[in-house]
Each structure stands twice: as structure tokens, then as C-alpha cells.
Amino acid sequence: MGSAVKLKNLRNIGIIAHIDAGKTTLTERILYYTGKTHKMGEVHNGAAVMDWMPEEQERGITITSAVTTCEWQGCQINIVDTPGHVDFTIEVERSLRVLDGAIGVFDAVNGVEPQSETVWHQADKYRVPKLAFINKMDRLGADFPAAVQSMREKLGARPLLLTIPMGQEDQFRGVIDVLKQKAIVWDEESLGAIYQEVPIPAAFTEAAQQAYENLLEALADVDDAVMEAYVGGEDLSPEELAQAIHRATIHLRAVPTYCGSALRNKGVQPLLDGIVRFLPDPTEVPAVTGVNPLTGETEQRPARREGPLAALVFKIIMDQGRKLSYVRIYSGTLKTGQDVYNPIKKVTEKAARILRMHANQRERLDEAPAGNLVGVMGLKHSTTGDTLCSPEAPIVLEPIESYIPVMSLAIEPQTRDDQEKLEAALSRLVEEDPSVRVWTDEETGQIILSGMGELHLEVLIHRLEREFHTRVMAGRPQVVYRETINKPATASAVFDRELAGKRHYAAVTVQVTPQPRGDGNRVESKLPPEHPAAPFVPMMLEAVTGALLAGAAFGQPVVDVAATVLEAEVREGLASDMAFRVAAMQAAKQACLEGQPALLEPIMRVEIIVPEEFMGEVIGDFNARKGKIEELQSKGAIRVITGLAPLASMFGYATALRSATQGRGTFTMQFHHFGQAEK
């Protein structure tokens, strides 16, 4: 299956869902039935192909998005298995950014759960067409109509039921194909690889007929051609109906919905048929847009192999000590050994090897045309969110949103041996995950590791030990703070000392002015080019930048401040780089101290989903945590509370919410802005 696959025979899809809905199990079945693997791994015994990191096998959850490729009915399907845990939202975000379609997996017992709601809305943000698979039909408490209803209520989706279950819980025998009006039963001996279509058993004929009528009605609502035929009493062929479903799916008007039990090997093949028939190929999604860095104009790159190269690096992993970049090719063809231009880093890179990924196994390719998701070796400088393009047709694609880390902990190597390995290990983690930051606390000399939440930091510490054989002692998670000033101030500093028998002298005046929140820092000089101190301006600006980073009042980085060097005094024969550097740094620190310094703390956007009966107690607790409620929504018997709260007051909130709502309330939390810390 070389690179000769036609664009219309390509599908780039992701599997999105809440923890434990069965995403990874479903992927395992897809790989088995498409002939990619010869035995099925199970998540619960740590043998799933897609969860190949030891961290994932141990916790039974997916942390990194694994990529794999398989084939069904002449179509090449590239699958990304995404994590369900909120701390790894960036993994889902960057995967959805490069996918053309997604499968939402829901648990037939619990219906739509909070994190599946979050990722579903993330997919809506990127306008990704979706199919739904209602899994675990064999479990006690499985309720297909209720799960479908929860899709309508919580997701605002319009499900098109293309398979319905024959029985549920321990009576679940197979599914009915609503379009073909046939029953599908699976052979247990072949682990579900062999299945056959049989006439619908008498007990289910009425339900099957009703499902067909409902499907026609639902399609008539979203498709004009079906509406005309339906009103005119004409019959449409299954092929015409399939085309109408395809149109409705691509335009995000409806969601083809399937059911089954991945663990019991039932219901997966009809879903594979649905991926091929109803999800878009790369030419059916809008052409990717970007900005030409030379002209500043917005340009489009339609999915064509002959066009100029435009590709996006959406993930980086370290593989046996070498850097592997996952790349989505939007237009043109990437060839092995080709020079590609990175307009963000302004460097030319060489694609040394191109690999088709199958979880952590791979196959080498000579070239990869538009529409493909591939692994690329040899990109030294490119990081997540960077564009790769032809040097003669540069374009910068919209980068992947990066999250600001809001929680940090201090780490120390346990032995000298660990200390030597730590720096390299940390730089690899930072390169892989854009939501990780590492810095050294000047005062204590401790290394500070920052991330998206408690589980995120815990996984990073374990990975340091497991993958990089670096043992560290970790402190307790702390909130990441910043500082700023509230009023303009000006200060001068003089450096006048004799060092090693030579006198050094410099006097510098610096003014600091507060900027609007989120504008960042600006450091500049007002000295004219003919000023005697002009040669020392770069030193002074560097020193002022350093002073802001170190923080004056609270030792935290200063943000949203404009700092200007107003004046500098030079004395003949006494001026030196060092003198101006020290004087500028002291003047900047003094000015910040006089500018009413204030501590800023991360304010989080919190979304809490609770049953109505617990709402009063939850709101009371949220207010007690200095939370400010912005919006209250009703979705059936569920209430969605959206608000802002300081991160420092949200430690341990998961436990508090569980106990206040008998385990039925859930929440998601994301960084919103830095706000002034209350006394």
C-alpha cells in the first residue's frame, strides 16, 4: 500500500471519548478486523497495542495520542487514539487540529459523560464531522435509547441510527442494519472476524421498520433531496440514502450512530463501513488556510499532490533517543531527503526518513502525498505547531493553541549520576509536550517543573524515572505566580566601583509603565544614536529584560510592563559593559519596586456539570473558593455551571465535588488569565 492511494480513498480519523468508554479497545478491534494485528490486546491486562507507554499500561488510560494506519474496503484509514483525561486536553486539541473526521465513543450504561462532552465540543470548534459508536451494549444497565437521548440533550447532536441492537445486557446478540433491513450476527469462534447478514428475527421486525421510518424522517429534516422524495411519497434507493447521510455528516448536520460491544467483538465492522462511506476524504474538507510570511496575505492550500508543500508538525516524541515528528501533509508531496522550509523558525530542514506509523511499529516510505499523517525523522529544529513548506511557496499555517502551565513542583536529582542525565531528559520532555515548562529558581537553585495539573506532573515524574532512568525527589505541587506593577515609576542607579585595580562607572535611568493584562513586556531605549552610551544599549536592554524575569518584589517573573532606558551617563575612560549592565538591572528593579508591585495568580475557567438536586450546595462551595459564576445552563436534569476561580483555591476540588454530589458531578478546568491575587 505505497503512496499511490488516491486522495478519495484516504480517511484521517480520531477516536474521542471519556476515560473508560472503550476507545482503545475499539481501536484494537479495528486493527484486528482490518488485518493489521493478528491477536487482540486488552487494556485491562496492559497489552493494548495503542497504549504502548508503560505509564498507560499501568493506569489503563491513554496519555499520548498514538497514530496507526489500516485498510478497509480499499480505503487507507489513519487513526489517532486520543486521551480522555482532562490533564491531557492538549493531546486531543492537537490531534483534532489535523483530523478530517472523528468517532465519539459512548458507554451504553452512562451515555454522554463530561469529558466526552468536552472533546466533542473541541471537535465542533475545528468543525470535524463525526460518527458515534454506543459501546458496551452487553453490560448490565446498558440502555440504547437513553444513550441516544443523552447525545441529543448534552451534545445538541442529531443522531442517525444506522444500526440498532438486538437485545441488550446479557441478551445482546447482534445488530440490525437499518438501511439494508438485515440482521448481522457475529461468529464467536473467529473473535468476531466472521459475521453474516441474516433475515431479521420476527421479534425485531417491528423495531427495525420503525428505525427505518425514523431514519427517513431525520434525514428529511437535514437534506432537501430526501425531503422532496419523502413529501412526494417516492422511494429512495439505499445508495441515494447513503449519499444523503454522507452530505449531512460532512456539513455537520447529523451524526451517523452505531452500536455494539467492542470487548465482545460485536458491531465493529458496520462502523468501519461507516468510516469509509460517510466520513470525508481530504478533498471534502475545506482547504487549509495560512499566511504568506512575505506578503502577509491569507492563502489557501487545497489538498493536491502536485501543489506546493504545506504540512503541519502536530506532535513530537523521543523514540530511542531520536526525535520523531508527526506531520499532517495538507498539500504537495513530501519526499525522503527533501529540503523543507520552516517559516516560523526561519530554517531549512531535511526530511531524512518518512515513516508510516502503526502505534510504535513503522514502515519506511519514499514519499508521502497530500492527505497523509506520517512520522518524519531528521527535523532538528521544528517543534509542535510549526509549518513545513516549499521554500519557493512559503506559508505559515495556523499554529496549534498552546496552554499555559499553571501548576509546578520543585524537583531535585537523587544522585550525581541522576543530575547528569536530568537536563537532557527534561529538554526532551519539553520538546515533546508544549504544555510543559522547566526553569531554575535563582534563589533556591531548585529546578521547577510546570504542567497542566496534578496527574500531568505525576506522569512526567514517572516518565523521568522509567524512560530516562533519572530518579528525582519531587516537592508538593504549587501554583505558578507572576507579578506586575500598577503605576508608572522611574528610578536611577549608579555603579561606581574599583575592581581588579580599575575603576568602573555607569549611571542609568529606567522608567516602567504598566501595560494592559496579557500584552506582555516591552523593553526599549530612548537614547539617540549619537549618545555617548549608544554602544552600551544592547547590554542595558539585556540587563533590564533579566531584571523583569527575576522579579523585584516577589521573585516571580514580571509581566505586562513596558520598560524604557531614558538616560545614561558615560565618564571618559571609566565606562564598561559590566558597569552598564549592573546599573541598568538595579534601576529596573528599583523602578518596579516603586511602581506599586502586585502579585498575579492563575485564574481558571471552570465548567462544572452536576445533577440539578446538588446545584445549591455546589454553587455555595464554588463561591466559598472565591469562584465567580458567569453562566448557568440547563441541559435536561443536568446543570452546567461555568465560572472563573483562582487555581490556588481549587486544589482537591475533584474529591470535594465527588463527595458533595454522590460521585455524579464532574468538572473541567483550563487556564483563563493571570489576575491580581487577593490579599
227-280 per-position pLDDT tens digit = 888 888 888 888 889 999 999 999 989 999 999 988 888 888 999 999 999 999
pLDDT tens per residue, range 441-480:
766 777 888 887 777 788 788 888 877 888 888 888 778 7
pLDDT of res. 459: 79
pLDDT tens per residue, range 128-159:
899 999 988 888 888 899 999 988 888 888 99
pLDDT range class, residue 63, cuts 50, 70, 90: very low
pLDDT for 45 beyond 50 = no
pLDDT tens per residue, range 310-347:
998 887 776 666 788 888 899 889 999 888 998 888 88
- Report yes or no: 83 and 61 within 8 Å, Cβ to Cβ: yes
- Report yes or no: 314 and 97 within 8 Å, Cβ to Cβ: yes
Return the higher-pLDDT residue of 24 and 77: 77
pLDDT of res. 64: 41
pLDDT tens per residue, range 153-170:
888 889 999 999 988 888
* CB crowding 306-320: b at 16 or more within 10 Å, else e: ebbbbbbbbbbbbee
What nine digits make up the cell of 508?
A: 542609568
pLDDT for 82 beyond 70 = no
pLDDT tens per residue, range 355-374:
887 655 678 889 888 888 88
Alpha-carbon separation of residue 230 from 2, 79, 161, 197, 214 (angstroms): 44, 36, 18, 28, 12
pLDDT of res. 606: 86
Which residues sit opposite 319 in a β-bridge? 322
Which residues sit opposite 508 in a β-bridge? 493, 568
DSSP 8-class letter at 266 = B
pLDDT for 624 beyond 90 = yes
CA dist., res. 213 & res. 209, Å (int): 6
* pTM, entire model: 0.66
pLDDT for 58 beyond 50 = no
Q: Which of 41-50, 523-532, 610-619 has the lowest mean pLDDT?
A: 41-50
**What is the Cα Rg of the chain in Å?**
29
Alpha-carbon separation of residue 581 from 52, 110, 510, 574 (angstroms): 51, 63, 12, 14
DSSP 8-class letter at 552 = S
pLDDT for 613 beyond 70 = yes
pLDDT of res. 235: 82
CA dist., res. 250 & res. 286, Å (int): 10
pLDDT for 211 beyond 80 = yes
* CA angle (558 as vertex; 556, 560 as ends), nearest 5: 145
- Report yes or no: 53 and 60 within 8 Å, Cβ to Cβ: no
CA dist., res. 510 & res. 526, Å (int): 10
Give the pLDDT mean for 648-669.
Answer: 81
Please give the share of the chain, as a percent, with pLDDT higher than 70: 88
Taking 3-state DSSP, the helix, strand and coil percentages for the chain, each rounded to the nearest 5, stand at 30, 35, 35
Contacts of 165-169 spanning 24+ positions with Cβ under 8 A: 165/137, 165/259, 165/260, 166/201, 166/204, 168/108, 168/137, 168/138, 168/142, 168/143, 168/144, 169/138, 169/139, 169/140, 169/141, 169/142
pLDDT of res. 291: 87
Residue 65 backbone dihedrals phi, psi, to 5 degrees? -80, 115
Query: Strand, coil or helix: what is 285?
Result: coil
pLDDT tens per residue, range 191-201:
788 888 899 99
- Report yes or no: 402 and 451 within 8 Å, Cβ to Cβ: no
Question: Which residue in 41, 20, 360, 23 sits closest to 191, CA to CA?
Answer: 41
DSSP 8-class letter at 373 = E
Which residues sit opposite 53 in a β-bridge? none
pLDDT of res. 635: 65
pLDDT of res. 197: 87
Greatest mean pLDDT among 103-107, 254-258, 289-293, 449-453 lies in 254-258
pLDDT for 610 beyond 90 = no
What nine digits make up the cell of 308?
A: 506546493
pLDDT of res. 155: 84
